[in-house]
């Protein structure tokens, strides 16, 4: 079902196509006739493949463990499906590249779900004492000790999946980005509950990507910017976003120039018209901002809802905001009172530079859309 949903989404996602990384595209393109799979790659690139005898490793985690502590590291992952949990605690800059096929990499009718050749998946969920974070398929964190984790992690053209999820299983994370700066380009993230997690002191940037989920599938404590993404509702539970913030910070979820849609693997019984909420407050300072985002008919007219579990109101201390929402679910005339419908002037401070308090050196702004 998962593979089917990713393929079908291509028809919906057509506006987000043609994105490439000028710095890495020559490395990512498959070279089946070459003596070396690393032509065009940065010096010292490590090659992972389950089938190519020229590979340094057959496991992504093995390749990561082999890296020296210092210097920028690059790993090229060959086409394949990798059943493993990946954990990155390396502090120095690091890049993960998914291999691409020249025949589909530049297809104007394709997107992240149709051209990506690399899948990394696991199927852990909260059970037998596992915490939320321990279920994550892909983790970037500080590891042991108090030192900040990766100062600059990037991943390109990889599909990350937690396959434990169904409508009865609870938390099953795809990502856990904590105490680190991490950015993702042309990727997909597929889960149900708590798909995406930007944890404590985490800073994340996601562009040209697709995120599938059901309940609070964007959640966290840190600062997360989602640019030109598709949020695909597999079902409606809680809200799309559940965030905590703290006084004096810009911690929150910021979704810009994106789409919110019913996932192609959902149906009218799992995602009914007007059933899904844009978010709900994980604490009284919750912050979620939608900028220039198209929303389909699955979005509830009120926009945001209370947390529940005894908290049946939305505090006035939350910051929920929208600017220039569009589509059937983007009608803001019936939104809850706590939703700030921003004017163009009020929306002006909500930029990548404004949210991250400067131009982040760990974001690849040359990635082309």
Domain ranges of the chain: 2-355
* pLDDT for position 165: 66
The mean per-residue pLDDT over the stretch 113-122 comes to: 92
Residues 6+ apart with CB under 8 A from 33: none
Cβ neighbours, 10 Å, residue 12 = 19
CATH of domain 2-355: 2.160.20.10
The sign of the dihedral angle between the CA atoms of 302, 304, 308, 313 is: negative
CB 281 within 8 A of CB 245: no
Beta strands in 228-335 (DSSP E): 230-237, 241-243, 252-256, 259-262, 279-281, 287-291, 294-295, 319-323
Torsion angles phi and psi, residue 98, rounded to 5: -85, 130
Identify the weakest region by mean pLDDT among 62-76, 155-169, 239-253.
155-169
pLDDT of 1 > 50? The answer is no
* pLDDT for position 81: 98
Average pLDDT over all residues of the chain: 90
CB 194 within 8 A of CB 216: yes
Question: DSSP code of 355?
Answer: H
CB 93 within 8 A of CB 153: yes
Confidence of residue 3 (pLDDT cuts 50, 70, 90): very low
> Of all residues in the chain, what percent carry a pLDDT higher than 90?
75
Residues 6+ apart with CB under 8 A from 337: none
* pLDDT for position 155: 98
The mean per-residue pLDDT over the stretch 257-268 comes to: 90
Torsion angles phi and psi, residue 277, rounded to 5: -100, 150
* pLDDT for position 11: 40
The mean per-residue pLDDT over the stretch 325-347 comes to: 97
* pLDDT for position 129: 79
Identify the weakest region by mean pLDDT among 7-21, 41-55, 260-274, 327-341.
7-21
């Amino acid at each position: 079902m998962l593979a089917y949903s990713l393929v079908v989404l291509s028809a919906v996602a057509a506006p987000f196509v043609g994105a490439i990384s000028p710095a890495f595209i020559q490395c990512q393109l498959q070279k089946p006739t070459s003596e070396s799979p690393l032509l065009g790659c940065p010096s010292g690139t490590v090659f992972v493949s389950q089938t190519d005898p020229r590979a340094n490793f057959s496991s992504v985690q093995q390749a990561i463990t082999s890296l020296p502590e210092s210097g920028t590291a690059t790993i090229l992952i060959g086409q394949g499906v990798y059943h493993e949990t990946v954990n990155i605690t390396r502090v120095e800059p690091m890049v993960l590249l998914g291999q691409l096929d020249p025949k589909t990499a530049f297809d104007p009718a394709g997107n992240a779900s149709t051209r990506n050749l690399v899948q990394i998946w696991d199927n852990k969920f909260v059970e037998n004492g596992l915490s939320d974070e321990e279920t994550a398929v892909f983790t970037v964190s500080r590891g042991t000790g108090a030192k900040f984790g990766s100062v600059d992690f990037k991943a390109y053209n990889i599909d990350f999946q937690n396959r434990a999820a169904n409508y009865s299983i609870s938390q099953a994370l795809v990502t856990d980005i904590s105490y680190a700066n991490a950015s993702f380009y042309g990727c997909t993230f597929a889960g149900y509950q708590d798909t995406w997690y930007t944890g404590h002191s985490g800073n994340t940037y996601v562009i040209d990507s697709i995120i599938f989920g059901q309940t609070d599938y964007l959640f966290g404590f840190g600062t997360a910017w989602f640019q030109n993404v598709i949020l695909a509702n597999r079902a409606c539970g809680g809200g799309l976003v559940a965030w905590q913030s703290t006084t004096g910070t810009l911690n929150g979820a910021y979704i810009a120039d994106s789409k919110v849609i019913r996932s192609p693997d959902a149906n009218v019984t799992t995602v009914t018209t007007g059933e899904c909420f844009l978010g709900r407050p994980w604490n009284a300072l919750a912050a979620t901002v939608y900028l220039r985002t198209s929303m389909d008919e699955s979005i509830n007219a009120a926009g945001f809802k209370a947390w529940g579990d005894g908290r049946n109101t939305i505090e006035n201390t939350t910051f929920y905001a929208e600017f220039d929402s569009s589509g059937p679910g983007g009608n803001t005339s019936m939104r809850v009172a706590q939703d700030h419908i921003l004017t163009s002037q009020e929306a002006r401070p909500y930029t990548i530079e404004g949210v991250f308090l400067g131009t982040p050196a760990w974001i690849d702004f040359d990635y082309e859309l």
